[in-house]
């Protein structure tokens, strides 16, 4: 990126920010703060009721001064993602910031309509597909930002991504499932977020579009509440040591709005500072391989 771009002032005020996972937790906290800072918002959600409630909250928060568009999609379903991407392109003449924030973890191995393991589908393939489908429109903005919410959980994938087990049959097999296989699978998907960001940043060099990711820390949200009593009990204990959603959203908002990171791309941040991920997360070879695999799994290539 040129020195002119690096030094040019940046603010979300008056810019269009598209965010997934904005109806609760970190995403909702980030959407509120970005609305206060003057951004117009597009929220991608699964539930019409929750999306409308969130949109109304955001409009009320800013006295009706914030434009909020609602888009509905099931992020486990690639047809749904393609449909919502077409709707976004039809309704949004520009996208200045794309925030891939939605995430989930499933304790049981469930395959989606596309034959993909569900945690992988939501946490990695959904942001990959949505980003690549919207990328031409994002690049039209001249300068834009793509931000993906990863996690310190990527450290659980100590051996990297198991490219020979992409549907996670081994992770969810006995006895691995008893040893926390679902947690390690979640870690793989969060590692994938970092590798996706690395390769995306490389492919976007010189375009004016930057891609970064973040670890929001351990945050008290509704995450993992649909995975049974044990999961709910575990999360209840963890909440005692967790951050508020507002604290967890700080780095996300900073990456969207700060002038400090102008020109910085392919980085991983924690508490508004660049952090060093694990060795598997720093592998350029793994990042390129993941991109190729993801194109195959979504049958999509936009770069």
Structural domains of the chain in order of their starting residue, each with its CATH number: 3-217+244-296 (3.40.50.720)
Who's near 19: CB < 8 A, 6+ residues apart? 27, 30, 31, 34, 41, 42, 43, 44, 98, 99, 101
User: What pLDDT, on a 0 to 100 scale, did the predictor assign at position 171?
Assistant: 84
DSSP category for residue 121: I
What is the reported pTM?
0.90
Q: φ, ψ for residue 245 (rounded to 5)?
A: -55, -35
Tell me how far apart the alpha carbons of residues 294 and 114 are, in angstroms, rounded to a whole number. Answer: 13
Looking up tokens 């990711």 gives: 213
Q: Per residue in 107-166, pLDDT tens?
A: 999 999 999 999 999 999 999 999 999 999 999 988 999 999 999 999 999 999 999 999
Q: Per residue in 33-79, pLDDT tens?
A: 999 999 999 999 999 999 999 999 999 999 999 999 999 999 999 99
Give the residue numbers marked as catalytic: 186
% of the chain exceeding 90 in pLDDT: 82
Structure tokens at 71: 């888009």
């Amino acid at each position: 990126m040129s020195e002119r771009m690096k030094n040019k002032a940046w603010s979300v005020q008056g810019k269009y920010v598209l965010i997934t996972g904005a109806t609760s937790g970190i995403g909702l906290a980030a959407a509120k703060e970005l609305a206060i800072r003057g951004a117009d918002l597009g929220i991608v959600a699964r539930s019409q009721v929750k999306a409308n409630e969130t949109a109304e909250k955001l409009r009320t928060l800013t006295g009706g001064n914030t434009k909020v568009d609602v888009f509905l999609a099931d992020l486990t379903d690639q047809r749904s993602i393609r449909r919502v991407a077409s709707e976004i392109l039809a309704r949004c003449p520009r996208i200045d910031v794309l925030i891939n924030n939605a995430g989930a973890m499933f304790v049981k191995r469930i395959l989606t309509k596309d034959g993909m393991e569900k945690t992988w589908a939501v946490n990695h393939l959904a942001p990959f597909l949505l980003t690549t489908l919207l990328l031409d429109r994002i690049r039209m903005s001249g300068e834009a930002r793509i931000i993906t919410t990863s996690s310190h959980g990527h450290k659980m994938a100590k051996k990297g991504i198991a490219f020979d087990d992409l549907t996670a049959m081994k992770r969810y097999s006995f006895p691995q499932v008893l040893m926390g296989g679902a947690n390690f699978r979640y870690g793989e998907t969060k590692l994938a977020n970092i590798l996706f960001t690395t390769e995306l940043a490389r492919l976007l060099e010189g375009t004016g579009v930057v891609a970064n990711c973040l670890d929001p820390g351990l945050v008290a949200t509704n995450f993992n509440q649909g995975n049974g009593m044990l999961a709910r009990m575990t999360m209840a204990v963890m909440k005692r040591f967790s951050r508020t959603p507002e604290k967890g959203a700080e780095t996300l908002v900073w990456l969207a709005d700060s002038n400090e990171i102008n020109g910085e791309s392919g980085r991983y941040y924690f508490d508004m500072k660049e952090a060093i991920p694990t060795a598997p997360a720093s592998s350029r070879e793994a990042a390129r391989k993941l991109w190729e695999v993801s194109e195959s799994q979504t049958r999509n290539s936009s770069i």
